[in-house]
Structure 1
Amino acid sequence: MHQNTTADSPATARGAVAIIANRRGELLLHLRDDLPGIAWPDHWSVLGGGCDPGEKPCETIVRELDEEAGLSVDGLTELFEIRDEHGSGQLITFFAASWDGDETTLPLAEGVKLQFFAPEHLATLTIPPFIRDGIHRHLAARPA
């Protein structure tokens, strides 16, 4: 996940992430690297990253999906914002999208792996609190 918090203070730094679902309702998660200095190392998250100076969150998420996984998605929709209070401090814009490909064929440029998970399996994963909150909020708002 690209992070550029040097240009903005944590109070104004922004980022964007995408909750990507396949036709079976599984969510695409990204296992982050276990490296010093990155937010939420060795956690499962959704793809995304920090906004570059002057970049809008909708531009950020398209760039980040391409940079991190060579991914182009369908139906990208802006959802809501949540602040990463216990990590980067960024105000994160959440997006939703769909993609039905094979995640093992994506050219992963950051992190350890990408994997689809059924929503009922998310409770067993180590996920940053703000990402878990965003996923739950999104799933609760989806039609049954």
Structure 2
Amino acid sequence: MHSDTTANPEPGAARGAVAILTNRRGELLLHLRDDLPDIAWPARWSLLGGGCDPGEDPAAAIVRELDEEAGLTAVPLTELFDITDHRGSGQIITFFSGTWDGDETGLPLSEGVKLQFFAPKHLDILTIPPFIRDGINRHLAARPS
């Protein structure tokens, strides 16, 4: 795993996890967040995920969050890297990647407004938090062409 944070993050630093899920066409599954004043990055397109519960590591958190937010279970995930959300929650976010080829419109969304697959070429027109956009771009740049 590669990190843009220090080698040893502060003990007790807030952690979170997100998943870059792609389908066989190479489209990315994005989550339109609720427009609520008490959440980080309201009304923005983001990735599924969230904060770690006390004592929970990011790998367990992303499995829990995918299930809680969209009913996605048993999605094989690969840990990628950490990015700190300096301009939002302040959390150290671990990015994971995986593949899922289902119909996003049939998922039982429990948070946010909607889920939708987007081709990478259309991401520039979306309002995406900077640290999420950075993570997606890093992931896309590292993929074989």
TM-score, normalising length: structure 2? 0.91
Q: Does 1:70 align with 2:71?
A: yes
Give SS of 1:86's match.
coil
C-alpha distance in structure 2 between counterparts of 1:132 and 1:88, whole Å: 15
Aligned to 2:19: 18
Contact kept, 8 Å, 1:33 with 1:111, in 2: the verdict is: yes
Amino acid at match of 2:58: P
Amino acid at match of 2:20: I
Ranges of 4+ aligned residues in structure 1 off by more than 4 Å: none
Aligned to 1:49: 50
Amino acid at match of 1:38: I
C-alpha distance in structure 1 between counterparts of 2:22 and 2:123, whole Å: 13
Give SS of 1:29's match.
strand
Give me the CA root mean square deviation.
1.2
Amino acid at match of 1:110: E
C-alpha distance in structure 1 between counterparts of 2:99 and 2:58, whole Å: 18
C-alpha distance in structure 1 between counterparts of 2:141 and 2:21, whole Å: 15
Residue 20 of structure 1: CA displacement? 0.2
Could you give the per-residue CA deviations for residues 2-53 of structure 1, whole angstroms, max 9, x where no partner exists? xxxxxxx9x7100000000000000000000000110000000000000000
Could you give the per-residue CA deviations for residues 44-102 of structure 1, whole angstroms, max 9, x where no partner exists? 00000000000010000000000000012533000000000000000000000000000
Aligned to 2:62: 61
Q: Does 1:83 align with 2:84?
A: yes
Aligned to 1:132: 133
Amino acid at match of 2:128: I
Aligned to 1:5: none
Identity of matched residues, %: 76
How many residues are treated as equivalent by the alignment? Answer: 135
Q: Equivalences for 1:109-124 in 2 at 5 Å?
A: 109-124=110-125
Amino acid at match of 1:102: D
